[in-house]
């Protein structure tokens, strides 16, 4: 075997990847083999990361955007001895990735799943796999560091100065998301951000020349990045020189590294099999022979390699972390309030008094748009929670998400202390960046029109997988957008968001439900949430007459009820349609019908309640039920049952004034009353049966 410890360590990374993919009979061995020298150089020589404490706040971040090359990262986590961390932020004595996990790569319950997963494997900074998401998320991480430094660094106390590295490939570069994110990073001059591009000219279909021929260096120079090139992925000297150039740059850095996929496996170079399939036993033997490796050895880790990493990144990382912790102990004594904020932020805890001065809105038949009431609540909450920050995809004047209190400021290139973010018309990159900020323990929000949530679905889905509490604010929530027409009128978006597991959707009915929605949202630690708001005014309900808006905390609640509490008909709605149901309720009640109105701002939270509570709100024996929502009816059948009626959108909308649209599509009190009379005539009051 090769006595050169650097080469020995690199080949250990390679052979672990080959053996794991072969044993799993699944995976991508090519990129781990080709990029092993790059990650070795970065981790062993430069990365400020302590394997003993992989959540140390000022650690450098390494993002494997090319998530299909997951064995590259798993090999590093094992060889460097990264320790596991539990949900209580306690470092455990065991390894994050054991050799048995590597041997069980891509198998059930292994800490080495097919693509890296945050919260599942300690040392993984973000879940990756969908191409482009990793690099875009890294932009949010870099933004977070700049904001943390601006707010918490004090003279003599540089608490935050970490860098963010992302390893990406041709697939990342082809995805439009990477262009959005790189454009934003260049505009913000995020000099703490470095993307390392594995330029190997291979994708699943074959050579990139089939579909990709742009000048990638010119593209990134156009974005305002510092661009450098390493002609051979195996040249550690040139790799280190390129990384040193990054450390001196005043802009984000893009390092193009030329490589050959499955380097060292000559019979499989530049083939799809080396990229997306195991090499095969014979090819592995040939590769190991080229490395000077025992050809029949599997999962071999020389002791000298473990010692090498321990003396490199292990020693350096521990020294850096210890120095930081000593600095923070002194910081706590001199700046106790700031230190307390950092402590709470890292644990996703809220400040004392975070909900003081939350507004209560008086009854008002004319009312206020929920985007307007949300603006009032958001500004109060953000004043009380210093690390709540966010912005819009160029729509803050419309979504009403600008923080207007004194000192809020704007986050801009060279001025990173502001809490108003400007993402430009980049919905996809915005939501990926929000994920990066949340992973850095800032509490971020981003906003846009509900119709454009389609552009953001991939990062929202990842936020749910990662269990991070990102806040998405979507306004213009229905055909109430009016004259803008069907291209801007969301119909299927609510159903699409509700379909994401672990994702919470809230569509409040009036200003006081908005206040209660924010009260719930801020206490979430592991669930992303979409707050769905109206452009048009919503009547502020008289809470002395109807139930308290605090019922929102349980997802759905009885807003208005039959006098004896035994309804023969239940009207259910969310958002702007709740007041419509109240109007129908008043008329039907005057006619002597026993009617209940249920406000259902969040199906997801309602489903978390006990069966007893859910049945108390929607009794199984009351089968006359009507749902009303200006959106696709998909999903409402679980609540209206076989005998009920859903009033919703069966088609796209139309371009017309709001009142005309409401009449055309049946969102009027008269339409609800007609449906109620029809339903009661064929399904009179009775107590037998259930859903």
pLDDT band for position 247 (cuts 50, 70, 90):
very high
| pLDDT value, residue 267 | 42
Task: Tell me the catalytic residues.
Answer: 427
In this structure, what DSSP letter does residue 450 have? G
Distance, C-alpha 611 to centroid of its chain: 30
In this structure, what DSSP letter does residue 154 have? B
> Six-digit token pair at 175?
């995805």
pLDDT band for position 2 (cuts 50, 70, 90):
low
Calculated CA dihedral for residues 85, 442, 185, 124, nearest 10 degrees: 10
User: What per-residue string of b and e applies to 33-63 under the rule 16 or more CB within 10 Å gives b?
Assistant: bbbbbbbbbbbbbbbbbbbebbbbbbbbbbb
Per-residue pLDDT averaged across 522-549, rounded? 97
- Measured CA to CA, the distance from residue 50 to residue 623 in angstroms comes to 60
| pLDDT value, residue 685 | 54
- Measured CA to CA, the distance from residue 240 to residue 298 in angstroms comes to 31
Please name which of 170, 178, 18, 38 lies closest in space to residue 102, comparing C-alpha atoms: 18
- Measured CA to CA, the distance from residue 380 to residue 389 in angstroms comes to 12
Residue 237, pLDDT > 80, answer yes
Paired with 167 in beta bridges are: 64, 196
Where do the domains of the chain lie?
5-321, 364-539, 554-682
| pLDDT value, residue 689 | 33
- Measured CA to CA, the distance from residue 254 to residue 519 in angstroms comes to 42
- Measured CA to CA, the distance from residue 8 to residue 5 in angstroms comes to 5
> Six-digit token pair at 436?
């990066």
Spatial strand order in the sheet of 471-475: 420-422, 388-392, 443-449, 471-475, 529-532, 504-506
| pLDDT value, residue 264 | 39
Please name which of 443, 435, 345, 364 lies closest in space to residue 403, comparing C-alpha atoms: 443
* Number of Cα atoms under 13 Å in the Cβ half of residue 421: 33
| pLDDT value, residue 261 | 59
- Measured CA to CA, the distance from residue 111 to residue 104 in angstroms comes to 9
Instruction: Kindly give, in sequence order, each residue whose CB lies less than 8 Å from that of residue 614, ignoring residues fewer than 6 positions away.
Output: 556, 606, 607
Give the dihedral sign, CA 335/336/341/345. positive
Give the dihedral sign, CA 550/553/559/563. negative
Q: May I ask the CATH architecture of the domain 5-321?
A: 3-Layer(aba) Sandwich (3.40)
Superfamily of domain covering 364-539: Thiamin diphosphate (ThDP)-binding fold, Pyr/PP domains (3.40.50.970)
Residue 268, pLDDT > 50, answer no
Paired with 227 in beta bridges are: 254
- Measured CA to CA, the distance from residue 242 to residue 263 in angstroms comes to 21
- Measured CA to CA, the distance from residue 345 to residue 485 in angstroms comes to 42
Give the dihedral sign, CA 634/639/641/647. negative
Q: What pLDDT digit, counting tens, does each position of 319-343 carry?
A: 999 999 999 999 999 999 999 999 9
551 near 599, Cβ under 8 Å? yes
- Measured CA to CA, the distance from residue 494 to residue 502 in angstroms comes to 15
Q: What is the mean pLDDT of the chain?
A: 93
Alpha carbon distances (Å) from 50 to 77, 96, 312, 427: 11, 13, 10, 34
Q: What pLDDT digit, counting tens, does each position of 352-411 carry?
A: 999 999 999 999 999 999 999 999 999 999 999 999 999 999 999 999 999 999 999 999
Length of the chain: 691
**Residue whose pair of structure tokens reads 């001065």 in the numeric block:** 357
582 near 541, Cβ under 8 Å? yes
Residue 595, pLDDT > 50, answer yes
Alpha carbon distances (Å) from 268 to 30, 68, 114, 344, 569: 9, 18, 22, 51, 69
> Six-digit token pair at 115?
């693509």
Residue 90, pLDDT > 90, answer no
258 near 264, Cβ under 8 Å? no
| pLDDT value, residue 1 | 53
| pLDDT value, residue 210 | 80
Q: What pLDDT digit, counting tens, does each position of 12-25 carry?
A: 999 999 999 999 99
CATH of domain 554-682: 3.40.50.920
> Six-digit token pair at 592?
């002597």
Per-residue pLDDT averaged across 496-509, rounded? 98
Paired with 91 in beta bridges are: 85
- Measured CA to CA, the distance from residue 322 to residue 529 in angstroms comes to 37
User: What stretches of 567-665 show up as alpha helix (H) in DSSP?
Assistant: 577-590, 603-607, 611-617, 637-640, 658-665
Q: Which of 176-190, 631-645, 661-675, 677-691 has the lowest mean pLDDT?
A: 677-691
Tell me, yes or no, if the two domains 364-539 and 554-682 fold the same way: yes
- Tell me how many helices (H) and strands (E) the chain has: 26, 22
31 near 261, Cβ under 8 Å? yes
Per-residue pLDDT averaged across 578-606, rounded? 97
Per-residue pLDDT averaged across 41-67, rounded? 97
The H or E element spanning position 167 is strand 164-168
130 near 65, Cβ under 8 Å? no
**Residue whose pair of structure tokens reads 């700046």 in the numeric block:** 335
């Amino acid at each position: 075997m090769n006595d050169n410890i650097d080469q020995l360590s690199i080949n250990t990374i390679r052979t672990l990847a080959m053996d794991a993919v072969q044993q799993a009979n699944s995976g991508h061995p090519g990129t781990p083999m080709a990029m092993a020298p790059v990650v070795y150089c970065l981790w062993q020589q430069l990365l400020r990361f302590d394997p003993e404490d992989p959540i140390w706040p000022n650690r450098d971040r390494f993002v494997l955007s090319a998530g299909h090359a997951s064995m590259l990262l798993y090999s590093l986590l094992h060889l460097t001895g990264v320790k596991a961390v539990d949900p209580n932020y306690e470092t455990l004595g065991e390894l994050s990735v054991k050799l048995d996990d590597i041997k069980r790569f891509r198998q059930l319950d292994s800490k080495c799943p097919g693509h890296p997963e945050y919260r599942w494997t300690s040392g993984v900074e973000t879940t990756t796999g969908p191409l482009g998401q990793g690099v875009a998320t890294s932009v949010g991480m870099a933004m977070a560091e700049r904001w943390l430094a601006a707010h918490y660094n004090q003279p003599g106390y540089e608490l935050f100065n970490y860098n963010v590295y992302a390893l990406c490939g041709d697939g990342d570069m082809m995805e439009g998301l990477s262009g959005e994110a790189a454009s934003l990073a260049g505009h913000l001059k995020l000099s703490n951000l470095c993307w390392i591009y594995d330029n190997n000219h291979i994708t699943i279909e074959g050579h990139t020349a089939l579909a990709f021929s742009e000048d990638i260096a010119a593209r990134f120079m156009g974005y305002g990045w510092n661009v450098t090139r390493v002609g051979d992925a195996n040249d550690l000297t040139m790799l280190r020189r390129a990384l040193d150039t990054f450390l001196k740059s005043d802009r984000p850095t893009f390092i193009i590294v030329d490589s050959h996929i499955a380097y060292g496996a000559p019979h499989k170079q530049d083939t799809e099999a080396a990229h997306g399939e195991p090499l095969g036993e014979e090819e592995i033997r040939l590769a190991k022979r080229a490395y000077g490796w025992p050809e029949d050895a599997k999962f071999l880790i020389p002791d000298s390699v473990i010692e090498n990493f321990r003396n490199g990144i292990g020693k350096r990382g521990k020294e850096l972390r210890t120095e930081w912790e000593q600095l923070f102990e002194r910081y706590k004594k001199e700046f106790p309030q700031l230190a307390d904020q950092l402590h709470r932020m890292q644990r996703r805890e809220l400040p004392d008094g975070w909900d003081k001065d939350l507004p209560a809105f008086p009854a008002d038949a004319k009312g206020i748009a929920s985007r307007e009431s949300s603006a009032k609540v958001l500004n109060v909450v953000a004043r009380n929670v210093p690390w709540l920050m966010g912005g819009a995809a160029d729509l803050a004047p419309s979504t009403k998400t600008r923080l207007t209190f004194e000192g809020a400021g704007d986050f801009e290139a060279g001025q990173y202390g502001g809490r108003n973010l400007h993402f430009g018309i980049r919905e996809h990159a915005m939501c990926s960046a929000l994920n990066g900020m949340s992973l850095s323990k800032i509490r971020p929000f981003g906003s846009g029109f509900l119709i454009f949530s389609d552009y953001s679905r991939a990062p929202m889905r990842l936020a749910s997988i990662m269990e991070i509490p990102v806040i998405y604010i979507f306004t213009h929530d229905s055909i109430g957008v009016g004259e803008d027409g069907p291209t801007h009128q969301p119909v299927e978006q609510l159903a699409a968001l509700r379909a994401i597991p672990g994702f919470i959707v809230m569509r409040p009915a009036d200003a006081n439900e908005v206040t209660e929605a924010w009260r719930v949202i801020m206490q979430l630690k592991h669930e992303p949430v979409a707050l769905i708001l109206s452009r048009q005014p919503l009547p502020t309900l008289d809470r002395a007459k109807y139930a308290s808006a605090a019922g929102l905390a349980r997802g759905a609640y009885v807003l208005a009820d039959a006098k004896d509490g035994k309804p023969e008909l239940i009207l259910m709605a969310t958002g702007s349609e709740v007041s419509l149901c109240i109007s129908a309720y008043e008329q039907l009640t005057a006619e002597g019908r026993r009617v209940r109105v249920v406000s259902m701002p969040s199906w997801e939270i309602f489903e978390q309640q006990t069966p007893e509570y859910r049945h108390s709100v929607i009794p199984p024996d009351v089968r006359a039920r009507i749902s009303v929502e200006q959106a696709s009816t998909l999903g409402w059948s679980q609540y209206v049952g076989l005998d009920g009626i859903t009033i919703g959108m069966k088609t796209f909308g139309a371009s017309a004034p709001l009142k005309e649209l409401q009449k055309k599509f049946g969102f009027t009190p008269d339409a609800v009353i007609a449906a109620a009379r029809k339903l009661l005539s064929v399904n009179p009051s009775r107590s037998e049966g259930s859903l």
